[in-house]
Structure 1
Amino acid sequence: MNKKSLFKYISLSVFINSSVSIADNNNQTNHIIPDQNKPQTLTIDNKNIDTVNINPADKGGLSHNYYIKFNIDEKGLILNNKKQDNIPAAKMIISEVTSKNPSYINGIIEIAGEDAHHLIVNPNGISCNGCGFTNETTLVSGKIIKLNQSDIKGISYNRKAIIINNLRNERAKGDLNIISNNIKFSGKNINNKNINIYSMGSDNFNKNVQNPELITQRRATHVKIKKLASITSGGLFIRSDHRYNIKNYGLIDVNELNITSKGHYYGAQKSKLRISSENTKQSSILNLRQAKFYKSEIEINNSALMISANNLSNNNDIEKNNQLRLTNSRLYIGGGFDY
């Protein structure tokens, strides 16, 4: 899979904000309220399932929609992306929250009409509880930066949390992409495509909408899979050029794994990492500064796992304190990033 295809229709430049906040899961207010201070024509049909008739796409195929609140209840949400009056459907739909309200997504977001990449942007955090997406979706804890009304400069993002609980992406036709410095998984999360996690920064700038760059930053951040939580997906890909730590207290169960970061991977007690693939030539990669397994389990089926870390800790030896199961598989252990 070519990870550079992420954000085919939009270029992102990132500006870091050091504030830390986590979306409050106790707020169950479900509303979709457009921002009337923005020049837009979107309308909402409040029928059995809320339907948003999105703003018309610009010449580049981008429909940018602004909300005071963007909360989805258990019934879900439909984004109407059908061609109308010789206006082409959008290739990318941005749903951006402009207020101080976090987003709570408790249902399935479906795109009706033409397929499109849906970008949900909220600088106050995003909490998904029983959420799901039929199309490729990107979640960002940040906000859009514009040079003028139609020219997007990029995205600013911060350390406010994206919380994923009981993801229901069995019907997804595209990947789930997450861009945040603070990500937490809890509950049982199922994604039939890939989960791609990116961490970016402000060292570079690229305004070319067809070839966006991943940007680096140097703030220590993390992804956390909580105790009793699980991630089951076709693939899990985490890409960062700075100290991005992965803490696994639950289960990661994927066909392919690729984690490249200058941070640490920590497999906690009773945690499990399972990689199963029908392609025996496929290799998964853990390339980090440090990898630590503490009474955790590693299971590899019909695949290969390459662990590259300058500091590899198994709490004495992997045979004694961790369970390692290889079935028609290979395990390679070597040095990681050169520090």
Structure 2
Amino acid sequence: MTPAARVQAAAEVLDRIAAGTPAEQALLGWSRASRFAGSKDRAAVRDHVFDVMRRWRSTAASGGGESGRARMLGLLRQQGTDPDTLFTGQGHAPKPLGDAERAAGRVPEGAEALDLPDWLWSDWQASLGAEAAATAEQLRHRAPVFLRINTLRATQAAAIAALSADGIATRPAPLADTALEVIEGARKVARSKAFTDGLVELQDAASQAVVAALPLAPGQRVLDYCAGGGGKALAMASRLSGLVEAHDANPARMSDLPARAIRAGAEIAITQEPRGPYDLVLCDVPCSGSGSWRRAPEGKWRLTADGLAELTAIQGRILDTVAPLVARGGTLAYATCSMLATENGARVAAFLAGHPGWSLARERQFLPSDGGDGFYVACLTAPD
């Protein structure tokens, strides 16, 4: 495919997304219908689609419309690319621009320019203060790719060397001593020997820093209550060199965890009915995902005020549910991949107000400016 044909394909995928098709489903549908497209073509179309999704509002303003074609036009204008070099109508390229399209488009303003919904902007400012605009701007760009060194299998030096042998260049990331940033060859990771042999896992640096902040010690009984795919459970098992129990309200989310644990040499036990007491319970609760909108930008535009309120209610219920599972003097670790105060500090404050004797031992808000995704963690201590 030519660069112009990739732009046309991305515009068509964006139209399907705008009509309500989930992004991954829309991309998969295009890929299956486009057998002529090679791996580089699929990667390029995907990059175009996600670049626009990170800038859904501003590309519509810059391009003068809400169609996939207009948004791709807006993206090219924002990137400083002359649209006439791609909108040629030749082969599978987009048709040439008309006079109306050339005249359309404007400079986006306010929350639109920062690619946030208007309804969220005041909460965003209240949550992030002086960092609000800069953080929103960072979410308009692609996220770095990070790996976690599995210390059950490799040292930092061994992991870096193994990845290098696979054509993947990395460097240590400062947020966590297990974190590596991929600076070349990111698309090779999943097929690399270093990955398949369990030396490394894909995991954001801030997510690793959350686990590093937990008061873990060998011999503890530990539960990952909202395990999902199990990334944090695996990281905790690596730190403990011992067993971690994993639970999720939707067990299907953990379907790959046993195989991942075998690959990593980690001891994970999946439990449907956790029975305390546990020395530490981690609740990485369902949330807005605002800290990871660089990676999953669709969530930014699917979220509503009512949806956010429902999430905070769920978060509160989870904390109430797991509190009795924590041993006397033990730790309940509350985590989100959110940067919104209503999901973070406000939930912790509400829990403490309703549970006398509990105390806040530590909390930390990670922002993209720290070098990873946006994450929050609070360690709450149970009464003795």
Instruction: State TM-score, norm by structure 1.
Output: 0.23
**Structure with higher RCO (Cα < 8 A, 6+ apart):** 2
| Structure (1/2) with the larger strand percentage | 1
| Structure (1/2) with the larger helix percentage | 2
Greater Rg by CA: 2
